[in-house]
Structure 1
Amino acid sequence: MNHLPKPAGEGLHTRVFQIIFESDTPLAKGFDIALIVVILASVLVVLLESVASLRAEYASLFFWLEWAFTLAFTLELAVRLYCLERPWLYLKSFYGIIDVIAILPTWLTLILPGTQTLVVVRLLRTLRIFRVLRLMQFVGEGRLLMDALKRSSHQILLFFFTIFMLVTIFAAVMYLIEPREAGFTSIPMAIYWAIVSLTTVGYGDIVPVTPLGQAITVMLMLTGYSIIAVPTGVFSAQVIRSIREERYSEEACPGCGHERHEKRARYCLKCGTWLDETTPDPRLPEEQRKAWWRRHHSGKKNDDAGSPPAS
């Protein structure tokens, strides 16, 4: 069960909570944007430090910058926990775990040197930008894609199983006909070659040298071109299906029987019949609307929402 964070109390706790955990004020939005900038800067420092020439020249600068970022993030996490009513719930949440992981590698260098490169996980903290820029409407689109992926999972798994059998057969044949000097030292190595060839990547580290092997390679590459779009087509079809179900209703028009109306539609696109069967057509005269209410609510006690409009 998800628990929304709450301030620990009135006064300073609430003011700090509004700045750190909310984004509906200029100050809160500025804090989040500044935090994201600092996160990106800290990741940039780690990336630059991995370059040998830069590390040799600016090692001291990188060291102090890294500790400055770590102390800043540690202080920020402490302030977050300070203003929360239940800090342990935040620490167990997704963002809480990311915040801890973001500062842990640098502190671990005091015990285990070399773990500072793990601070690139701080990049995950930029996910807060979804809250800052009010992009949570994309969650709906993400849910739609996940729904399409679940629906197409059986077809995609069947496709991958078929591909696996195909590359295994080709690999076994190549292992039999190609010399070991060509790189086909085992069937697993031949499977690696078959996958590389089927996907038309062609690294060139394992190359057939016999005419028959080269002919099989051509067949495998052409097969890859012909089937590589299959999972994309399956997934696209499920995405279109999910979009239609999200947008269109399956109920038929009571007048002409036409289906696939938009869920927000009130009248039939073809014949103009009123589609909402729970309320009368507002275009009807008042007497006919009253008669409709009597037919559909006879023997039932009408409440305020279900009663016909007053005369």
Structure 2
Amino acid sequence: MKTLLLDSDDVDENTRMADVIQAIEDAFAAYEHGNAQMPAKSYIELPQYNGDFRSMPAYLDAGEWDAAGLKWVNVHPDNPADHDLPTVMGTMIYSDPETAFPLAIIDGTALTMKRTGAAAAVATDHLAVEDARSLGIVGAGVQSYTQLEAIAEVRPIEEVVVSDVDDERVQRFVDAYGDEFDVRGGSIAEAGHCDVLSTVTPVEDPIVSPDDVGEHTHVNAMGADAEGKHELADDLLLGATVVIDDHEQCTHSGEINVPYAEGVLTDEDIDAEIGEIVVGEREGRTAETGVTVFDSTGLAIQDVAAAHVVYAQAADEGNGSPFDLVGVDE
């Protein structure tokens, strides 16, 4: 029995975004129903290297399938300049829950991008207006691409406005999607007045104010993944319907972490967890709903769900590179 090695190209080749979106929704439902185990994300701080490691284990039982895995990921901001390496790298170990056999070692960086886009799509499907046709993106880095790829699966997106301080990144994004969408660069306010807005920046000083969004815009706040990060102004959060992915992670390192720590925003200002909406315990968008915000920190159950999709497709198609990790006879 062999373990599959799946690099970033294999992840791309074996990812059907619609399948990942469904798997992420299944994962949110399993978590809400208590059919998942997800210990808190643990950190190893490395100030001497201006970086850290994060470990994210999880198991989930989605009914028709179950899965387990661990993502080991770093954030080292000095890597590009000092070592010609990415700031963030990840490795996913995907295991058979019944036997613990390591079914696959998967590039966690590409997997993270896919599942992050899919999580935004799940939230958009429940919280955006039904006829949403425009998408704004603030931050034209690598995460922006799967935001469009995934959200276009759940809404008939036609117009895309992308905003970034780096004009070259904006142009690369426009060049990548200009044949599929009416896509252009624009200001934060132009992006924010679209039907859906995804923010994917690492900022610590808010860059999106209430005036920068429309009356019924749905905002996917995807950028905050560490304590101190904060993309949306406090008064925007306080005036919106706020939906989170997980209380512990969001209050520690999500979009709401700064105002929550300061007491500006409390549990009373959090309307629901996304799992509650997915399973029908809480309402998503209604006719009376104004601005909505999804605070996404990225959960280990999402990585496991996405790995399940990628591995199943690769195994069915005979893709990837099998190797003998454990030393078990065929």
Q: Which has a greater percent of helix?
A: 1
Question: Taking structure 1 as the reference length, what is the TM-score of the superposition?
Answer: 0.20
What TM-score results when the alignment is normalised by the length of structure 2? 0.19
Higher strand share: 2
Relative contact order higher in (CA < 8 Å, ≥ 6 apart):
2
Select the structure of larger CA radius of gyration.
Answer: 1
